[in-house]
Structures are given as C-alpha cells and as structure tokens.
C-alpha cells in the first residue's frame, strides 16, 4: 500500500492508563478512523483525502505496532470499552467514527455501548457483525489471504490486484 507525502504527525499519548501511538493530520472537524486487522498501514490516500475536510485521528490499536496491548482486554468488547475511555481522554466527544475491518467491529461495539459519544458511525467490511442471513465468518480461524478471498465476491475476476484501502 502506498502512503502519501502529505503532512501528518505521529505521536504517543497517555490515555486510559497506557501509551497510545497515533497519527494525526488535516484540518476541520475531528474524525476518528480505526484501522483494520492488517494493522496500521501508514498515512494512506483515503486518509489524505479525508484530511482535506477533517482533522483525522488514526490510533494504532493496542497490540498492534508501537501500541502495547491492554493487559485486561480479552475480546473486542473489552477493547471497545478501553477505547471509549481513551477517546474521552483525547477530548473526542460527539465525533464521527469510521472503522475498516476489525476497526469497523470496534467502532460498532463502541457505538452500541455509548451511542451519544458519536455523531456518525461508518463501518466498512466489519467482521463480527451478524449478517441478516447466515453466520459470521470467523476471521481469526484463517490466514488474512483466505479471509479476504472469502469476504469478496469474485476477487480473482478483477483486472487489478486487490487493495484493501
């Protein structure tokens, strides 16, 4: 995945009882973006596009990259609870939240637990949310490539490589 040459900053902040690595850029109203299960991929084109209209905050989930895991968190609901405290510490109340993949699952859990904390919820390809028919495909039982192949209709029929973001 390619990153842009745009101006953004990376920092480590103490929130909810532990350090959190995050990237931040843009100007305008705040927007929180939660990355997917492939981890923090850097400042991507879609971050740059959104940063033209919003101040984008992109935390690196606990247990990914430079952010240590939350010792007591055992599942996505626990991590969502930690995040609610973390974004409160960051002063990001009443903002839109966008989550991709695992970040979408986290965003949905957070919005369900504290709906007034967010002005909008946007999820893309979120596992863990039961579809209207069938069962949830457990992304943790397969490798990432198999998960992507089974998550999209006809991925091999595309004329270009699959780009997750």
Phi and psi (nearest 5°) for 108? -65, -40
Residue by residue, pLDDT tens for the chain (165 residues) are 444 455 899 999 999 999 999 999 999 999 999 999 888 999 999 999 999 999 999 999 999 999 999 999 999 999 999 999 999 999 998 999 999 989 999 999 999 999 999 999 999 877 777 777 877 777 778 887 787 777 666 555 545 444 544
The residue extents of the domains of the chain are 9-136
Residue 162, exposed/middle/buried by CB under 10 A (0-12, 13-18, 19+)?
A: exposed
CATH number of the domain located at residue range(s) 9-136 in this protein: 3.40.50.1820
- Per the listing, tokens 């270009």 go with 160
């Amino acid at each position: 995945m390619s990153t842009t040459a745009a101006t953004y900053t990376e920092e480590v902040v103490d929130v909810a009882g532990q350090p959190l690595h995050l990237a931040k850029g843009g100007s305008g109203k705040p927007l929180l973006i939660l990355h997917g299960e492939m981890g923090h991929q850097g400042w991507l084109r879609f971050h740059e596009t959104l940063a033209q209209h919003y101040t984008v905050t992109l935390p690196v989930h606990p247990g990914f990259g430079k952010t240590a895991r939350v010792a007591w968190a055992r599942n996505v609901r626990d991590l969502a609870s930690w995040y609610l405290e973390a974004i409160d510490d960051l002063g990001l109340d009443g903002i839109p939240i966008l989550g991709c993949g695992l970040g979408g699952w986290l965003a949905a859990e957070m919005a369900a637990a504290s709906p007034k904390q967010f002005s909008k919820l946007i999820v893309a390809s979120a596992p863990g949310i039961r579809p209207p028919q069938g069962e949830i495909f457990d992304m943790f039982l397969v490798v990432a490539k198999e998960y992507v192949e089974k998550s999209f209709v006809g991925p091999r029929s595309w004329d270009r490589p699959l780009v997750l973001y």
